[in-house]
Amino acid sequence: MKLAAGNWELFAAYLAVCRTSSLSAAARQLGLSQPTVRRQIEALEALIGAPLFTRSATGLIPVAGHSALKAQAETMEAAAQAFARLASAAADTVAGAVRLSCSRVYGVEILPPILAALMARWPALEIELVLTNDVSNLLRRDADIAVRLTPPQQEALVARKVAPMRVGLFAAPSLAKRLEGLDFPTLAATGLMIGQDRSETLADGLRQHGLVPPQRTVFRSDDDLAQLAAIRAGIGFGICQVVIGESAGLVRLLPDVTPAVGAWVVMHEDQSRLARTRTVFDALVADLT
């Protein structure tokens, strides 16, 4: 397979079809016409010498065995986006794009005021905020900076530990009146706890602190924001960050139960040479500490 500079757009078309399962939807995503995307896919298939998609009831799906191709295309996409951010401003100025990755609840509930103050001071900054509970690959340049709840293991990363994420049991005021004063086994027996759907991280965390997870939960979701919304609405009681629960006017149940999860701000060591990335990194470390 011979690739030239002009072939990069073929991989963009391939990724768009992988993500949308449709030539038309991929075309809308890329701002192209459907025939153009079709020609790009056909050109890539001609270069590879094999079909890339098969038709199904749900649309176009990648041919089995091509998962490595998609991973390589995503790596190329991340590198292209990192190049564009790098070229968005001079290295010694606090201006241009910085891509920041964090969990959904951090990005919605914790970081906005920090970022608002930062951008008020440096108005030429552009923040790209990626909300994901997956760990962004900084070596692959999925993001420039990440706020993580697990320490980084890879070399070539700069990490600073910040204040741990303290969590507690909270309920809306209307529900808290019925639950205050109950110990955890009694609370769990009510069946009113907000739980997770498929993930076991919450149950594992309870066990680590000597608490038996409830056999029945009133509401289940693996999305932290959905859990928080359910607590606020009074559907049940649940676990959330202490700073969020207190600021939202929720009532703390069992104040002595305060598990803490470590938190780190991480960036690739190459990013420390850029004034804009270093400024955002330092601000996050200072404010989250």
User: pLDDT digit string (tens) for 36-64?
Assistant: 999 988 888 888 788 888 888 888 888 87
β-sheet bridge partners, residue 147: 265
Q: What's the start-to-end Cα distance of the chain, in Å?
A: 51
DSSP conformation class of 63 = P
Q: For domain 5-78, which CATH number applies: 1.10.10.10, 1.10.10.60, 3.20.20.80, 1.10.1840.10?
A: 1.10.10.10
Cα gap 188→197, rounded to integer Å: 17
**Greatest alpha-carbon span in the chain:** 71
Question: Quick one: DSSP state of residue 271?
Answer: G
Taking CA atoms, 226 is separated from 13, 129, 166, in Å, by 33, 19, 19
What are 69's two structure tokens? 């191709």
**Contact indicator for 160, 288 with CB cutoff of 8 Å:** no
pLDDT, residue 260, reads: 84
Whether residue 5 is predicted with pLDDT greater than 50 in this model: the reply is no
pTM: 0.68
Kind of pairing between the strands at 145-148 and 96-102:
parallel
Q: Where are the domains of the chain?
A: 5-78, 84-162+262-288, 165-260
pLDDT at 279 over 90: yes
- Decide yes or no: CATH 3.40.190.10 for domain 165-260: yes
Q: Do domains 5-78 and 84-162+262-288 have the same CATH topology?
A: no
Average pLDDT over residues 154-170: 89
- At the topology level of CATH, where does 84-162+262-288 sit? D-Maltodextrin-Binding Protein; domain 2 (3.40.190)
Q: Label residues 160-189 b or e (16+ Cβ within 10 Å = b).
A: bebeebebbbbbbeebbeebeeeebeebbe
User: Given a cut of 60, is residue 30 above it in pLDDT?
Assistant: yes
